[in-house]
Each structure stands twice: as C-alpha cells, then as structure tokens.
Amino acid sequence: MLKVDNLKINYGGIEAVKGISFEVPDQSIVTLIGANGAGKSSTLRAIAGLVKASGGSISFDGEDITSLPTAKRVAKGITLCPEGRHVFPDMTVLENIKIGAYLRNDSLEEDIQRVYKLFPRLEERHWQLAGTLSGGEQQMLAVARGLMSNPKILMLDEPSLGLAPIIVQEIFNIIKRINQEQGITVLLIEQNANMALKVADRAYVMETGSITMTGTGAELLANDEIQAAYLGRKK
C-alpha cells in the first residue's frame, strides 16, 4: 500500500534520514522503533508531506506521491497524528474532533459516537477548549481526531507519550481494533517498543537515519540486541 524507496531527508545540510526503504502492506500494522533522534518522526513527516524529501520516492497505492502537497495526501487517505499532539488550542474538543473529518462530506454523528466510546473523557469534556486539557487528554484528542478522517493508513507518532499505563494499554487495544475491525493500515512510532512490537505485524529498527534491522514483531521482540538496546532488559 505504502512504499518508501531510498528516502533521504536533509535539515540544512545535516542528513537526518539517509536513504531508507520500507513497505507497509495493506491492512497491516507496521512499527518503526529506534532511539531518540533516529529520524523516525522525520520519516513520517516526509510521508505526510510536511517535510520535503531530498531524495528517494514515496508511493501510495502504486501512485507516486513524492511531490504532492499535504492536503492532497490526506485526501488520498494518509493521515498523521503528529508527535506532540498539536491539538487546536482555541477550539473546543468537539470542534477538534470535527475538523479531523474536514475532507469528509458524509454524516459524522456515528463516528463521533465511536470515538467518544473509545475516549469517554472526551465526551465529558467536549465543550472545553483543547488548550486547557491535560497532556494525556490532549493525546487522546489527537488520536481521536486522526481517526475521524476515516483514513486508509493512519500514522501515529508516539501516541502513548505521557499517557497513564491504563490508557496506554487502551491505546494499543484501539490500534488493534481499528486495524482489525475497520481495516485501517497503521504505521506506528513508539518508544514503548515492547508493546509496539507486540501489536506489530512488521517492525523496522532505525538508527541515526538508517534502517538497521527488520522482522516481524515477534522476531524482534525475541532478539537479544533489541532487548538490550530498546527494551531495557539488561543481560
């Protein structure tokens, strides 16, 4: 479905991503893990069209989208929940949810109820300005907003950041559910590699701008090196 080929990203001369290639098959969950600053977020931003790729190509459903503007990519069904939430602080929770469905013209009612069910806290606070929500609440809102666009592929950049353990589990359950029930493809970045690898069909490990390892979630979970480097299990 999504294919990244030899993608390179430059920030003022510094190469943050150094020619990576990977694929996200239809209806799968794929995760990118790696240390801070490895270039994971940059990769997702490039796929969403927020940063220009300095080399390589990105194709979606067999179509080259490398030079398409962000809005057009969203229209094709690529949605990114950015790192750091980025809710619209001066809009209410409900407005934030609605704007997630900006490109849709059908009725939203059902979907709104669905995300409310996923995140009851949001229903409770639907009138509140998003800027005053707690960190975790904002994170929920960002994920909810992403779901509203009915994407073909949903890219989540550290969705569990700052969430309470119980919600973290919930988020991963939701990821699995939307993948299975709605058939949404998911591309996930997580620091919580442990859980990410558990839900992932396929995983890629990034280090300083390159992909150094790949395998199914289970394979990597069992890998000693990965355990030492990302799962915090010494030995």
Q: Which residues bind ligand ATP (CB under 6 A)?
A: 11, 16, 34, 36-42, 83, 132-136, 162
The binder of 194, among ligand ATP, Mg ion, another protein, none, by C-beta within 5 to 8 A per type, is another protein
Q: Where are the beta strands (DSSP E) in 35-96?
A: 55-60, 63-64, 78-81
221/213 Cα distance (integer angstroms): 12
Which residues here bind another protein, judged by CB under 8 A? Answer: 33, 35-37, 48-50, 69-71, 74-75, 79-80, 82, 84, 86, 88-91, 95, 98-100, 102-103, 121, 128-137, 139-140, 145, 149, 158, 161-170, 191-195, 228-234
The binder of 42, among another protein, Mg ion, ligand ATP, none, by C-beta within 5 to 8 A per type, is ligand ATP
Residue 192 engages Mg ion in binding (rule: CB under 5 A): no
CA-nearest of 106, 188, 180, 194 to 146 is 188
Nearest residue to Mg ion on Cβ basis: 41
The binder of 213, among ligand ATP, another protein, Mg ion, none, by C-beta within 5 to 8 A per type, is none
Residue 41 engages Mg ion in binding (rule: CB under 5 A): yes
127/97 Cα distance (integer angstroms): 11
194/210 Cα distance (integer angstroms): 21
Asked if 115 and 177 touch (Cβ cutoff 8 Å), the reply is no
Nearer to ligand ATP, 101 or 141 (CB): 141
The binder of 88, among Mg ion, another protein, ligand ATP, none, by C-beta within 5 to 8 A per type, is another protein
Nearer to ligand ATP, 140 or 154 (CB): 140
Q: Where are the beta strands (DSSP E) in the chain?
A: 2-11, 14-24, 29-34, 55-60, 63-64, 78-81, 153-157, 185-189, 202-207, 210-215
Residue 179 engages Mg ion in binding (rule: CB under 5 A): no
The binder of 39, among another protein, Mg ion, ligand ATP, none, by C-beta within 5 to 8 A per type, is ligand ATP
CB of 129 to ligand ATP, least distance (A): 8
The binder of 90, among ligand ATP, Mg ion, another protein, none, by C-beta within 5 to 8 A per type, is another protein
154/119 Cα distance (integer angstroms): 18
55/15 Cα distance (integer angstroms): 11
Q: Which residues contact 186 (CB under 8 A, 6 or more apart)?
A: 28, 29, 30, 153, 154, 155, 156, 175, 178, 179
Q: Which chain residues interact with Mg ion by CB under 5 A? A: 41, 83, 135
